[in-house]
Structure 1
């Protein structure tokens, strides 16, 4: 990260008590995910602190069915988690699959004050806005003022993603043949439990079923292209396994968002460590905006943007084969992903990287 006093960390969120070392769940809570044992079929399961996992397959074929019936399903899951009187699997012995297999994905962008201000200050794309002779600190604070105006007068932004990019919380992440700057973005996610149109932000909490963790990886040199007038193309954020999703979703009643901290390390070195209180637009605002433009469905996944701490701010330390990415978000468990080279079976790209200049 550039050595500037004005980029110092903001205070970390106060942490809840009773975090279970086995799962990352807080005492009294539970998670809902998708799991598999050996070659058996995947099943929806309830995870409790301590690592017991109870199958939901006697009532629900998968987690999509769970979120389709969220009001009844979460009450029943709460009873199961409280009683713990049915056969249990062991969390550490299970294969952890994506929480949902095929959700619509909404990816909020430019949604953390510090992150956006850093990009606007240091990234090449915005240097035309720097005043003659303006130093980094003055430019940074002028950018913060612009961001705050957007928060007051503007609106959220999101792109849409592909569920084929999802993978389990502990799966390998293959680096594709295209893209030189693979980067991480650990994000606080929301799973929708209801639909609705033209929902106000003060009503939108009713749309939220649960919270979940997603690492929104991307090859950040593959966003801009000059061969089309639109100039932006977000498709490269959807490469295979670029969305570790889970390990489980936690019902919203167990999550105090004022205590949520996002933490990610690469090979043991902390890269992201930031509270979600720095969001420009809260999840309710983004969901309200979404209801004006799309039809939300139960099971839709909203990821709410990345805090600061990406590779460009750590000396361009882009991901490479052999790296180990370890992630955690308060209340929502942990991920561990090994970065590997993609095995393309001897194939080579036809079109290759985007054209960034003629």
Structure 2
């Protein structure tokens, strides 16, 4: 896999270069020292993956991501030293098509890099998604018995590349009196989850919080998956986390969550699969539809990456294929 580095700091470039060099099969494509240089180099020689810094002179990583995804799209992983303080910029860049974000490895005095393992794990996940490593087997959640109780309307949403902006647009249209419970699985590293939930909370009139273990759903609230384990629904209809299956390309997995909801939630709700690379969530959406849910896939025109919703459409998993702007009105109408 050919990997490019975009960073204006020499020491950061060297740390990234050394991490890439430790893995057979990874090749350094080129190095750019600002976003404008990266856009030009990407047009001339598009790599498989770009490790993109956010704060750079001439052109920052947000604008570079936007232009690259519009002109010569490829996988982009944001690599920055200040992940928490730059959370809004991270989510904006992900809205333009960046896949994920991770801290920049630190090059020590001994020449060793701290944080290289986390970067390599992210690169390996992206390699699976773009077909540069063997595919993993799919997983099915075993059926379990459910317990009847009075349930609020439930909306479950899965998203990946471009998801933050799509989610913000949808949630911003829900009124403060909206009585459905909303649960979101967004492909984002656990270290960004608290900032992501806080950012989403600022985009909507509904309260947004991280889903905790044994979390009971309530109407008019939004929960976001908050760890690298899979969010699941338990037989007692509370939310929780599990490390299995471990062979999923994404942690948390949308498929794992959707399938657990289809198994345990007694009252059909609304399942939504938004923009994203790969196919996570498509099989889960199909299971929700089979269970009687109203299922929605985002359309191609409004998707940053028409991967996951495309697979869902091809599987016949979606009752509706809608633009991102039409999803919230449909949810409001059906949740009444």
TM range (shorter): under 0.3
Q: TM-score, normalised by structure 1?
A: 0.22
Larger RCO (CA within 8 A; separation ≥ 6): 1
Compare the two structures and name the one with the higher helix fraction.
Answer: 2
